[in-house]
Amino acid sequence: MIFHPDIYERPAAEIARISDGLLSETVDRAIACSPYYGEALAAIGPVRSRSGLSALPTTPKEALQARPDDFLAVPAREIVELVSTTGTTGEPVFVPMTRNDVERLSETERRGFSWLGAAPGMRFHLAATMDNLFVAGLAYHEGLRKIGAAAIRVGVQPAQRHLDLMRALRPDGIVAVPSMMAALARLAREAGIDLRAIAPARALLIGDAIRGADLTSNALGRIIEAAWGSELFSTYGLTEAGTAFHECAAHRGLHIHPDILLAEVVDESGAPLPPGEAGELVITTLQVEAMPLIRYRTGDITFVVPGDCPCGRGGMRIGPILGRKAHRLKVKGTTVYPKTIEDALVAIDGIENFVLVAECEADGTDRLLVRVGTRRSADAAFRNAIGETLLAKARVTPEIVFESPASVDASLYEGGRRKPRTFIDRR
Ligand SMILES: [Zn+2]
């Protein structure tokens, strides 16, 4: 494996040359070593540049779920880690990794941490779990080790434990999911704790978008910024790709690491879309040994950010994840992603938590129910305020029912889930 940590500083033609060389290697090796690609790409000649990429068939997640062993491109004795996706849509995918694949993962996170200012001597509060086959916890731990900064492996703990440890150890940074940061802010406010006095200077946020389509902070991002005062850095990781995308200090989209991964945003037919247009994110892994993926359909909707990043780094950037393709709703003629509705709900005072439930109407359209957890009296004024916000921000008027926060929580974490499930699809 050859990493190019300075790849972003090189001229565009040089970045393309490096990516193209690694792509060519990836395709040749996948055809030779992975039974799935040996079959799927048998009739297709070598691919020598990214312009030839769109001629290749896309790889659906279903293929990976149905024939995982056929994607393995190394002997079993070379596998040192097995990680898995959460299985938000369908069966979880188990991803094998070699020692070099773990090294590739570490290098990506080293870059992400260095962009947010991590340095030797610093300490980071890691609120991402290391266990349950979760790749991100491992990635952050490895990334910090490469930086030379200290990892405080807190994992998933009660809110009070997080606050106690932050007060005792004063970390320079935190890695967490945005909803946890918002929940900690609420608890600190209720308990009269001055969060800003113990808040780390920077936070790396994974799992949910903290930016809107215009790349500025969305409601969730603004809530966290106001309560913590930390500089927020968004990141988007993909278990199957064994890597992540990172925001730089300019906060203008998520940079791709061009010697680690290639990305495209495509329409239904798999044809690449122009910058700014939303479609499905498709990735091709570079320098992966155990399970290389070529034109893998992630099921996530985003767009290529047009223009150059003010930070000066070259290579492609993507916007925030706007939603899951499988979760796209058609409510009374309006197409909407649950994420848009969730972003709007987060900003409404008095809503503690929520779950969206989609069902199929007799006429084939989608019926959407919003279960709102609140301690407020559920009067008509509150209901109207929610209705108006959803109409303004998401252009939908779903049914709203009020419940206790505990009853909503029970649905969010039903079956001991690792991440709260805010969208229940019964269609
Ligand atoms: Zn940048």
Concatenated DSSP letters for 46-95?
Answer: ---SGGGGGGSPPB-HHHHHH-GGGG--S-GGGEEEEEE---SSSSPPEE
What's the CA-to-centroid distance between 215 and ligand 1, angstroms? 12
Helix (H, G, I), strand (E, B) or coil at 262: strand
Matching residue, tokens 């492996």: 153
What's the CA-to-centroid distance between 211 and ligand 1, angstroms? 15
What's the CA-to-centroid distance between 13 and ligand 1, angstroms? 18
CATH number of this structure's domain 1-324? 3.40.50.12780
What's the CA-to-centroid distance between 16 and ligand 1, angstroms? 18
Residue 89's pLDDT is what? 61
Measure CA of the first residue to CA of the last residue in the chain; give whole Å: 45
What's the CA-to-centroid distance between 245 and ligand 1, angstroms? 11
What's the CA-to-centroid distance between 137 and ligand 1, angstroms? 24
**Spatial CA neighbour of 52 closest among 262, 366, 305:** 262
What's the CA-to-centroid distance between 317 and ligand 1, angstroms? 8
Q: What is the pTM of this model?
A: 0.90
What's the CA-to-centroid distance between 233 and ligand 1, angstroms? 11
Residue 176's pLDDT is what? 96
What's the CA-to-centroid distance between 382 and ligand 1, angstroms? 41
Instruction: Per residue of the chain (427 residues), give pLDDT as tens.
Output: 899 999 999 999 999 999 999 999 999 999 999 999 999 998 887 888 998 999 999 999 999 999 999 999 999 999 999 999 876 666 789 999 999 999 999 999 999 999 999 999 999 999 998 888 999 999 999 999 999 999 999 998 999 999 999 999 999 999 999 989 998 998 899 899 999 999 999 999 998 899 999 999 998 999 999 999 999 999 999 999 999 999 999 999 999 999 999 999 999 999 999 999 999 999 999 999 999 999 999 999 999 999 999 999 999 999 999 999 989 898 888 888 898 899 899 889 899 999 999 998 877 788 999 999 999 887 889 999 999 999 998 888 899 999 999 999 999 988 777 678 899 999 8
Q: Start-end ranges of CATH 3.40.50.12780 in the chain?
A: 1-324
What's the CA-to-centroid distance between 339 and ligand 1, angstroms? 25
What's the CA-to-centroid distance between 216 and ligand 1, angstroms? 14
User: Strands 254-255, 243-247: parallel, antiparallel or unpaired by DSSP?
Assistant: antiparallel
What's the CA-to-centroid distance between 12 and ligand 1, angstroms? 15
Angle at 329 between CA 323 and CA 335, to 5 degrees: 90
CA distance 8 to 256: 10
What's the CA-to-centroid distance between 8 and ligand 1, angstroms? 9
What's the CA-to-centroid distance between 318 and ligand 1, angstroms? 11
Helix (H, G, I), strand (E, B) or coil at 411: helix
Which CATH superfamily does the domain covering 328-425 fall into? ANL, C-terminal domain (3.30.300.30)
What's the CA-to-centroid distance between 313 and ligand 1, angstroms? 6
What's the CA-to-centroid distance between 315 and ligand 1, angstroms? 9
CA distance 22 to 28: 10
What's the CA-to-centroid distance between 320 and ligand 1, angstroms? 14
Helix (H, G, I), strand (E, B) or coil at 403: strand
What's the CA-to-centroid distance between 33 and ligand 1, angstroms? 36
What's the CA-to-centroid distance between 307 and ligand 1, angstroms? 11
What's the CA-to-centroid distance between 349 and ligand 1, angstroms? 33
What's the CA-to-centroid distance between 88 and ligand 1, angstroms? 30
Q: Start-end ranges of CATH 3.30.300.30 in the chain?
A: 328-425
Residue 320's pLDDT is what? 96
What's the CA-to-centroid distance between 308 and ligand 1, angstroms? 8
CA distance 246 to 277: 20
Matching residue, tokens 């690449």: 272
Other CB atoms within a 10 A radius of the CB of residue 397 amount to 14
What's the CA-to-centroid distance between 252 and ligand 1, angstroms? 6
